[in-house]
Amino acid sequence: MVGCPFIASLSHAMGGIRAPGEQFSRISKNYSLAFSYSSPIICGDILAGQVQKMRTRSFRLLAALGLLMCVVGSWAQSTDTATERSIETLKKQAASGDVKAQFILGMDYYEGHGVLQDYAQAVIWYRKAAEQGDAWAQVILGELYQNGQGVPQDYAQAAIWYRKAAEQGNAGAQFGLGILYANGQGVHQDFVQAAAWYSKAAQQGLAVAEDSLGSLYEIGRGVPQDYAQADAWYRKAAEQGYADSQNMLGRAYEEGEGVPQDYAQATAWYRKAAQQGDSLAQFSLGMMYEVGHGEPQNYAEAYFWLNLAASGKIVAVSQENIDKIRDEAATHLTPADLSQAQERARKWFAEHPAKP
């Protein structure tokens, strides 16, 4: 993919992140069981860490993930790229009012493709296309205002442009507008509006919107608290491979909230997210093996997944505490089994290099 403003944001994506202030009621009962041998302080820190991880999310990352999915669709349909014609021809066509040329020229300036990178010029050409009603250009222009690229950061302007595209049915813009309402940026904070816009995007199958709508049902903001509805939306996103929803669906099965308690299902969904590198899911999967829920108790598997989780720097959980839990699992292993688990972890890290 060439010329998409959201590629840079995506390079930092490591698992799902919810909007600031969202609070989740689910706390795994497994922690108190697994850490019965540990001090209450350690157990409390871990519990606090899991909750804090779910409370603190960067809305920019969500926007990048959601909006990129929509922009990619437009870009994939466009065969009239700068690689097939000269920049000068493209400029002439853009200057003549060709919306597609304006859009592509905006991308070229953003990425420095065939021209010197120039965010201000990107904004100029995206704006021209946006003012002609091009929904994709409106979405990107909103994102540029949101991030302050090529223009002063202005959430109110971001909301204006997202709304124009959202009202045309653009799922990425609907999601972006929902995020702004959830955070009270550029608009008055309004979770009812956030839920409404998330719902519009979710009904179009946008996984990150499905996940966000699920989170509102879980905490009862903007909609009545309803675990069954939360899990239904998490499932839709999880089945698309969205790691955060897979983790949350695993939590639902572990706790039996919104679905019958089923440790096997919990483990299965944790595994799907863990295999994508979600550190919270890796931690939860390690704990399932530690206590023998959903799978026979297996300290080698527990060590392996906890080792991966330890490298993920789970929010608000100290490295020391994660290491203590992992190292306790290691005390149940023979030197050969421990060496094998460590080698397995090294291979996993080699095959899944950390993102910048």
Domains and CATH numbers, the chain: 1-14+62-225 (1.25.40.10)
Least confident of 24-33, 71-80, 156-165: 24-33
Least confident of 80-89, 114-123, 200-209: 80-89
- From residue 188, give the alpha-carbon distance in Å to each of 174, 196, 317: 16, 15, 33
Please report the pLDDT score of residue 322 as a whole number.
Answer: 80
Mean pLDDT of 88-109: 94
How much of the chain exceeds pLDDT 70, in percent?
A: 74
Mean pLDDT of 16-28: 39
Q: How many residues does this entry show for the chain? A: 356
Please report the pLDDT score of residue 181 as a whole number.
Answer: 97
- Residues near 70 by Cβ (< 8 Å), separated by ≥ 6? 136, 139, 170, 171, 172, 173, 206
Mean pLDDT of 179-204: 97
Please report the pLDDT score of residue 16 as a whole number.
Answer: 35
pLDDT class for 356, splitting at 50, 70, 90? low
Res. 189: pLDDT tops 70: yes
Residues 186, 180: contact at Cβ < 8 Å? Answer: yes
pLDDT class for 202, splitting at 50, 70, 90? very high
Please report the pLDDT score of residue 45 as a whole number.
Answer: 42
Res. 196: pLDDT tops 80: yes
DSSP state letters, 244-298: HHHHHHHHHHHHTSSS---HHHHHHHHHHHHTTT-HHHHHHHHHHHHHTSSS---
pLDDT class for 347, splitting at 50, 70, 90? very high
pLDDT class for 35, splitting at 50, 70, 90? very low
Tokens of 51: 């909750």
What distance in Å separates the CA atoms of residue 291 and residue 344, rounded to the nearest whole number? Answer: 21
Please report the pLDDT score of residue 353 as a whole number.
Answer: 81
Please report the pLDDT score of residue 150 as a whole number.
Answer: 96
Mean pLDDT of 156-181: 97
- pLDDT, mean over the chain: 81
pTM of structure: 0.78
Q: Which residue has the higher pLDDT, 220 or 352?
A: 220
Please report the pLDDT score of residue 32 as a whole number.
Answer: 40
- Residues near 175 by Cβ (< 8 Å), separated by ≥ 6? 62, 63, 66, 67, 197, 198, 201, 206, 208, 209, 212
For CA atoms 109, 112, 116, 120, the dihedral sign is positive
pLDDT class for 165, splitting at 50, 70, 90? very high
Please report the pLDDT score of residue 157 as a whole number.
Answer: 97
Q: How many CB atoms lie within 10 A of CB 92?
A: 12
Tokens of 31: 């922690």
- Residues near 21 by Cβ (< 8 Å), separated by ≥ 6? 55, 183
